[in-house]
Chains A and B, each alone.
Chain A
Amino acid sequence: MAYAASHDAHDDHGHHPSGWRRWVYSTNHKDIGTMYMVVSMLSAVLGGGLSWLIRLELAEPGIQFITDFQFYNVMVSAHGLIMVFFVVMPALIGGFGNWFLPLMIGTPDMAFPRMNNVSFWLLVAALILLVLSGIVGSGVGTGWTVYPPLSNIEYHPGPSVDFAILSLHLAGASSVLGAMNFITTILNMRAPGMTLHRMPLFVWAMLITAFLLLLAIPVLAGALTMLLTDRNFGTAFFKTGQGGDPILWQHLFWFFGHPEVYIMILPGFGIVSQIVSTFSRKPIFGYLGMVYAMVSIGFVGFVVWAHHMFSVGLTSSTRAYFVVATMVIAVPTGIKIFSWIATMWGGSISFKTPMLWAIGFIFLFVVGGVTGVVLANAAIAVSVHDTYYVVAHFHYVLSLGAVFSIFAGFYYWIGKMSGRQYPEKLGQLHFWTSFVGVNLLFFPQHFLGVQGMPRRIPDYPDAFTGWNMVSSFGALVTALSTVLFFYVVYRTLTSGEKCAANPWGEGASTLEWTVPSPAPFHTHEVMPKIGSQPAE
């Protein structure tokens, strides 16, 4: 083994705070990571609950139980905001990032542990503000994109939108501080011998994600501030009546929003790379290609934003540019997909639960990616604009792609985090029920979209009944599968088998598997020396 683990390097005893102080005052990357995971799971129940209410309403034509249509808009908006900012990001970045980034690069903790604590609690404050926005006034019925003029004070009087703006400000500040922390840790605190090109792919994914956050979130913060002053202090950034332009909001929002979708998927790429390599018992195929594919996805991700705006009246040459630039992203993404397949090719594959989720991720992400290439065409995008085709596309890459990578990471690392291994049979059952459920749920939405069913409307003509019923049935299967997941968590924590330091065997070659399970409170107090083999 390339890594020499020293016996005194890890310490679980004494000198750490206990009781509530351990958590509230925590500066420990593992405890903070755990808290992020808990917040993500709680938010997932909230955001997922909203989506099940939406599917319940849409199960049959006509109005089932929603009499206040603004409330429907609020549910749709809250579902989007919660899933993006309080489920996917906290789980992938705050949770797995905090937990495993220091472990994988062989450093005792993050560069700024106190700032890490601030990042976490800002996120909690942001979540509280977002929940308040739904309780006071009319709620935020703007969609997660908060487009003016709908979000202007004329159409959303009352404090709801202001609460949401401040919530996003805090969530953004939390992410920016976290990103600075990650970058500093990766650049300055790697174990001796771990060059940038020997870092595990998950660490690379986090580095690129952190840079995307640093460049994208401030633009959102600027736009949100303009919206806040438009609403409350009489400015006119987005008000046509006084010389402003609502299209400017769309440019600013999507300059943030498009990198944001890569922020949500790149950590998933990293996790899937680790898992595919581990369970194929092979180093990842084309390591450098994988790294620079992610770098170029991050770079190109900043110059394609207007493909979200094909219907606002861009000139045909502007649209031509954004069509081509968007399609270019399929190239580095294809490099990643084929490298994963090449890693599995000829490998000694064991289909444990994490591997099932990783393969499920690859499959579903390809489906979502293909509809993405379809939507990249401006003419088609105008035709299916604001229909369920778009909903199906981004749920395949996010709800199925990113969320599958979260589950993959959970099953891969829960032994390291809790010291107890998950029950294998139940884990596999969870995978298969989820896989069937989400495909039943989202695949028919492609058909509905092409037929013209609009998003964000609580009713539809009778012609759409069949596939909506199938979709809602899929939501039921997914819901039951999620209940099963929480049972798996319960079984793991209460009666899971004790987990060895490295339960996966020789395929698991990264540094987190050299420390005991559960990872002690202090790890890598003496930095490990890295041998000459690349760490994949």
Chain B
Amino acid sequence: MSDDGTQGLRRRNRGVATMLGGLVVGMVGLAFASVPLYRLFCDVTGFGGTPRVGLAGSSSGISDREIEVRFDSNVAAGLPWVFEAELRSVRVRLGEEVEAHYRVRNLSKTKTIGTSTFNVSPNSAGPHFVKVQCFCFTEQTLQPGEEAILPVRFYVEPEIGSDRDARDITAVTLSYTFFPAKTGAAAPAASAVAALGAK
């Protein structure tokens, strides 16, 4: 093989390798981009039981059909709080906006900050469960021994009756888990909501 040929081959080899390297870098980028994309996807579609955040009042009116909404509350290890719903469940009409209350109390002798994650079950109810206002959008600060009532306003969209995956659902469980908040760092859920609210 002539020297010219060898040089040409080397150049072409480097060209192909550079393109393939670009492909690898691009795939690593996509892997990391999947994190915000996945969160956006869940928020927009209600995938995996992510309740939607919306404005007051269902746009499709109030239907006669009723559905049971159950309330679940949990506290993660490391947070000395008692956290419970005032009612175990309520029956609501589809499209009707309802306010429910949770009660939370700090058992410790120090000021503590908590933030909660939220989810609805079954997952397929997520796209139809709309929160208008929720304590879970912000961090909660409790003084030693302080007790607070935390409100949540929500409605279930009447479209749940025409969704193939969700029309048979008769009860939806709204679940919260309080975690110790990292001071200074806004909870990701809270910041996502803040971004939504700013629009």
Which of B13-21, B94-102, B147-155 contacts the other chain? Answer: B13-21
Count A-B pairs with CB separation below 8 Å. Answer: 100
**How far is B182's CA from A315's CA once the two chains are assembled, in angstroms?**
33
Contact: A251 with B13, CB < 8 Å?
no
A237 CB-CB contact with B under 8 Å: yes
Our pick among A188, A313, A317 for the contact of B49 (Cβ within 8 Å) is A313
A-chain residues with CB within 8 Å of residue B123 when the two chains form the complex: 313, 315
B-chain residues with CB within 8 Å of residue A248 when the two chains form the complex: 34-35, 38
Which of B23-31, B65-73, B85-93 contacts the other chain? Answer: B23-31
A-chain residues with CB within 8 Å of residue B177 when the two chains form the complex: 240-241
B145 CB-CB contact with A under 8 Å: no
Residues of B154-199 at the interface with A, using a CB-CB cut-off of 8 Å, are 164-165, 177, 179, 182, 187-189, 192
Our pick among A189, A215, A223, A241 for the contact of B9 (Cβ within 8 Å) is A189
Contact: B16 with A188, CB < 8 Å?
yes
| Interface residues on chain A, size class | 35 or more
Residues of B94-130 at the interface with A, using a CB-CB cut-off of 8 Å, are 117, 122-124
Contact: B27 with A243, CB < 8 Å?
no
Contact: B179 with A241, CB < 8 Å?
yes
A226-B24 in contact given A180-B17, A184-B17 (Cβ < 8 Å): no
Contact: A243 with B188, CB < 8 Å?
yes
Contact: A226 with B38, CB < 8 Å?
no
Residues of A165-195 at the interface with B, using a CB-CB cut-off of 8 Å, are 176, 179-180, 183-184, 187-189
Our pick among A179, A188, A218, A313 for the contact of B28 (Cβ within 8 Å) is A218
Interface centre among A188, A223, A316 (most CB of B within 10 A): A188
A-chain residues with CB within 8 Å of residue B117 when the two chains form the complex: 240-241, 243
Interface centre among B26, B117, B187 (most CB of A within 10 A): B117
Closest Cβ of chain B to A70, distance in Å, is: 21
| Interface residues on chain B, size class | 35 or more
Contact: A313 with B76, CB < 8 Å?
no
Contact: B13 with A188, CB < 8 Å?
yes
A-chain residues with CB within 8 Å of residue B34 when the two chains form the complex: 222, 248, 251-252
Closest Cβ of chain B to A368, distance in Å, is: 29
B57 CB-CB contact with A under 8 Å: no
Contact: B179 with A315, CB < 8 Å?
no
**How far is B23's CA from A216's CA once the two chains are assembled, in angstroms?**
11
Contact: A184 with B16, CB < 8 Å?
yes
B-chain residues with CB within 8 Å of residue A218 when the two chains form the complex: 24-28, 30-31
Contact: B48 with A188, CB < 8 Å?
no
A236 CB-CB contact with B under 8 Å: yes
A242-B187 in contact given A219-B27, A219-B30 (Cβ < 8 Å): yes
**How far is B28's CA from A135's CA once the two chains are assembled, in angstroms?**
30
Contact: B28 with A251, CB < 8 Å?
no
Interface centre among B35, B122, B124, B179 (most CB of A within 10 A): B35
Closest residue on chain B to residue A111 by CB atoms: B13
**How far is B23's CA from A313's CA once the two chains are assembled, in angstroms?**
32
A245-B165 in contact given A184-B13, A240-B117, A252-B31 (Cβ < 8 Å): no
A-chain residues with CB within 8 Å of residue B20 when the two chains form the complex: 179-180, 183-184, 214
Our pick among B12, B28, B30, B48 for the contact of A245 (Cβ within 8 Å) is B48
A-side interface residues toward B, CB under 8 Å? 111-112, 176, 179-180, 183-184, 187-189, 214-219, 221-223, 226, 234, 236-237, 240-245, 247-248, 251-252, 313, 315-317, 527
| 5 cross-chain pairs, A with B, having the tightest CB-CB distances, nearest first | A222-B31, A243-B188, A218-B27, A241-B179, A218-B28
B-side interface residues toward A, CB under 8 Å? 1, 9, 12-13, 16-17, 20-21, 23-28, 30-32, 34-35, 38-39, 42, 47-49, 76, 117, 122-124, 164-165, 177, 179, 182, 187-189, 192
The 16 listed contacts between A and B (C-beta, < 8 Å) are: A188-B16, A214-B24, A219-B28, A221-B31, A222-B28, A222-B34, A234-B182, A241-B177, A243-B188, A245-B42, A245-B48, A248-B34, A248-B35, A313-B48, A313-B122, A315-B165
16 other A-B residue contacts (CB within 8 Å) besides A245-B42, A248-B34: A180-B20, A180-B24, A184-B17, A187-B16, A188-B13, A216-B27, A217-B24, A218-B26, A222-B32, A222-B34, A236-B188, A237-B35, A252-B31, A313-B123, A315-B123, A315-B124
